[in-house]
């Protein structure tokens, strides 16, 4: 089920490999439908090489395909995206000036929201 997200959005920007946690994809699709605004994906899956090249942590949930960075450039969009993420049960959210990170990595602590 990929109602809102294409393979290009999900794939690694470096090598084009598509790796996607199906539970994450289903939940993010439902969340996107509820939010009523597009979720433009800056980053979803990252291969180890790409993850290292951009300086991300070696424990990044992007490596597992269970994380996405959603473009967000204004307060109205940020509010709609955050509200939908929380409503649909996401408990791992990072907020930056121009994107929102979300993941459902089961090997990491839940109930956390952080700032970049």
pLDDT (tens digit per residue) in 40-97 = 999 999 999 999 999 999 999 999 999 999 999 999 999 999 999 999 999 999 999 9
pTM equals: 0.94
Q: How far is CA 76 from CA 25, 45, 79, 100, in A?
A: 24, 27, 5, 13
Q: How far is CA 89 from CA 27, 58, 59, 85, 86, in A?
A: 9, 26, 22, 6, 5
The CATH class for the domain spanning 7-115 reads alpha beta
Task: Indicate the SS3 state at residue 27.
Answer: helix
């Amino acid at each position: 089920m990929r109602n809102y997200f294409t393979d290009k959005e999900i794939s690694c920007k470096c090598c084009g490999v598509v790796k996607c946690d199906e539970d994450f994809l289903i939940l993010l699709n439902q969340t996107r439908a509820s939010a009523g605004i597009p979720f433009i994906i800056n980053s979803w899956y990252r291969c180890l090489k790409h993850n290292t090249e951009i300086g991300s942590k070696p424990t990044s949930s992007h490596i597992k395909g269970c994380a996405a960075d959603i473009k967000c450039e204004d307060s109205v969009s940020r509010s709609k995206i955050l509200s939908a993420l929380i409503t649909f049960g996401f408990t791992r959210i990072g907020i930056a000036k121009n994107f929102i990170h979300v993941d459902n990595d089961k090997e990491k602590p839940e109930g956390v929201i952080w700032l970049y």
